[in-house]
Each structure stands twice: as structure tokens, then as C-alpha cells.
Amino acid sequence: MDKFFNTAGPNKPEMHYTLDPLHRWDLEEVLTLIRQNKYFVLHAPRQTGKTTSMLALRDYLNDQGEYIALYTNIEPAQVAREDVELGIRAVMGAIASRLKWDAKSSLLYDEWTNILHKFGAEQALNEMLSFWAANSSKPIVLLLDEVDALVGDTLISLLRQIRAGYNNRPAGFPATIVLCGVRDVRDYRILPDKNKAVITGGSAFNIKAQSLRLGNFNQIDVRQLYSQHTEVTGQIFEDDIFELVYDFTGGQPWLVNALAGGLQQFERKPGQKPPSPGLFFNKPKKASSSEGTPIWIN
Ligand SMILES: Nc1ncnc2c1ncn2[C@@H]1O[C@H](COP(=O)(O)OP(=O)(O)O)[C@@H](O)[C@H]1O
Ligand SMILES: [Mg+2]
């Protein structure tokens, strides 16, 4: 299948025009943090490429073979709101399931409900991660995505159970845990607990070594991404398009892709040039009605 500009979820480099997701951040810095068994945060606004980069990091680490790296999206725990039992159950189930399906290990899948039953939600996540590390032949790198979808007591419990195991890493707890979300941990929305003491994400997770932020594309990135399409199809983008796209989008990754997808729809023949992106902004009604361009333009 021909590659295309993706606007729905994380990029798959084999399907979508993609900038190397490992080099959207300082890979050496990330690898150093991992080598030092640090816990850290990756944050950026929505649709910036966090999940794409985390998945690439997981694959990179697993290919290198020194660690077992697991990615888990814990957003399903969001509906639990303040219900720790429900929230931690959802987080544990999600990790156990990813380990089974992505890493082909049933270790947690077969055990996690027993652990939950035995220890209760306030302790069970810590126990499950300890059990996993103790039975793993390699140090574990756990990448948790959408962490700030959790709120209140559920989020506090998650952070505290991780903090409680931190000293036992790497043999008795994951060597590295990365928390990924829209906010930095100190800005997590944690409401005052029942005793009305204000708890901040920063204090519940004071083991954080660093917060990394994923930025937008620069002009060179935009040019490089669009050139991938030119290489495959021969369709040429006028030189001034790159600057215009950058001006219109500020390099926001999803917008850069969405605009390219729209431009690409006009002319697909080799050598033919797509129109200036200004067309979309100046004549949005015409563009959206007759050309099937994405609705966000309006
Ligand atoms: N490495 C990349 N190269 C090109 N486009 C990307 C890349 N990473 C992300 N994008 C763009 O950003 C969108 C959102 O990616 P995603 O990883 O789901 O971001 P986030 O997790 O920050 O919401 C994708 O649909 C795509 O348009
Ligand atoms: Mg994401």
C-alpha cells in the first residue's frame, strides 16, 4: 500500500510518511536516563507525536536486547475517577494484557487478579511490578502513556505505589518508568484528599529525574516530511510552500500532516504541483465542499 500523511493516531513508519520518531527528542539523553535507571516524564500537547515516539523507543530498546520494554496506555482507568479499586484494576489489567500480547509473556496475565485479591488496590500495583521484575531475565523499562487521564485518589495511588518500589529497582522493580501525558507531573490534577491536604503530582512522585518535552516540527522537518511524498510519487511541492506551511501551522505535527494530506488531494500526477496552502485558508468553503479537504480548515 502507498504511504500517506497520517492524521489519525500514532504514526506507523511502514504505512505513513514519518520523521524518525526516535530523533524527535535527544535520544542520547533518553538512553542515558535509562542506563542510569532513572524515572522521568515526557510531556507535550495532544497530537505532537508522544505515542509515536514512545512506541519507537519501546521497539528500539527491545531490538537492542538489553532491556524488556513495554508500552501501556492507561487511559482506560480514566472512567474510575476517584475509585482507586476500579482505577488500579484497570491499570494492572492493561499492563498484564500488553505483556501478554506484545511481549508474549503470560507471567502477569495469569497472576494479576490473584495479586489484586490478596493485597488490595492500594498495594497491588506495587506487588505486581515487583513480581514482574523479580521474574524477569532482563531489567524492565515501562512506558506508561496518558497518565494524566487519571485524576484524584487513583492518580495518587498510582504515583505512590510506583514511588514505593523505586528503591528496589532494577532487580525488584522496573529499572525505568516513563510517565507520558499532556502535563508535567507537578501539574497533574490532583484534588485535595479527604483530609483536605493539598497533594501535588510533584510531591507524590518526587523520584522524577527529569521532564522531557516534545516540541513541534521546525522548517527543515516540514521539508523533510513532505519530500518523502515527492520521492514516492514525483509530486513536487513548490519551494515557498514549506515556509507557508510552517507559518500556518507553527510546525504542529498533526496540522503539518493534515495540510499535506489536503494539498496532495488536488494533483497526484508526477511532476504536477499542488496549489499553495493559502488556498485552503483563503477559500475554505470551496475547498471543503468540492475537494473533500479535512473539516478542520473551516
Ligand atoms: N514522527 C512523526 N512524523 C510525522 N508525523 C508525526 C510523527 N509523530 C506524530 N506525527 C503526527 O502527529 C499525530 C499524532 O501523533 P501521536 O503520536 O498520536 O501524538 P500524541 O501521542 O502526542 O497525541 C499523527 O497522527 C501525525 O499526524
Ligand atoms: Mg498519544
Question: How do residues 101-119 score in pLDDT, each as one tens digit?
Answer: 999 999 999 999 999 999 9
Pocket test for ligand 1, best of 254, 255, 259, 264 (most atoms within 8 A of CB): 254
Please report the pLDDT score of residue 195 as a whole number: 58
Please report the pLDDT score of residue 37 as a whole number: 97
Atom of ligand 1 nearest to the CA of 257: 27
Pocket test for ligand 1, best of 52, 60, 180 (most atoms within 8 A of CB): 52
DSSP annotation of 69: E
CATH 3.40.50.300: does it fit domain 21-213? yes
CA of 284 to the centre of ligand 1 (A): 24
Please report the pLDDT score of residue 124 as a whole number: 98
Q: Tell me which residue of 94, 64, 67 sits closest to 78, measured CA to CA.
A: 94
Please report the pLDDT score of residue 262 as a whole number: 78
* 3-state SS assignment for residue 74: coil
Please report the pLDDT score of residue 289 as a whole number: 35
- The residues facing 132 across adjacent strands are none
Given a cut of 50, the residues of the chain with pLDDT beneath it are 281-298
CA of 44 to the centre of ligand 1 (A): 11
The closest residue, in CA terms, to atom 7 on ligand 1 is: 49
Backbone angles phi, psi at 265, to 5 degrees: -70, -20
Q: Look up the pTM and report it.
A: 0.89
Please report the pLDDT score of residue 265 as a whole number: 63
Residues whose beta carbons lie less than 5 angstroms from ion ligand 2: 50-51
CA–CA gap between residue 255 and residue 297 (Å, rounded): 10
* 3-state SS assignment for residue 39: strand
Pocket test for ligand 1, best of 11, 42, 54 (most atoms within 8 A of CB): 11
| Domain(s) of CATH 3.40.50.300: residues in the chain | 21-213
- The residues facing 69 across adjacent strands are 141
Separation in Å, CA 67 to CA 28, 62, 64, 136, 159: 16, 6, 8, 10, 23
CA–CA gap between residue 97 and residue 105 (Å, rounded): 9
Residues near ligand 1 (Cβ within 6 A): 6-7, 9-11, 18-19, 21, 24, 44, 46-52, 225, 253-254, 257
CA–CA gap between residue 184 and residue 142 (Å, rounded): 18
* DSSP code string of 166-232: GGGTTTSS-SEEEEEESS-GGG------TT-----HHHHTTTEEEEEE-----HHHHHHHHHHHHHH
Which ligand does the CA of 11 lie closest to?
1
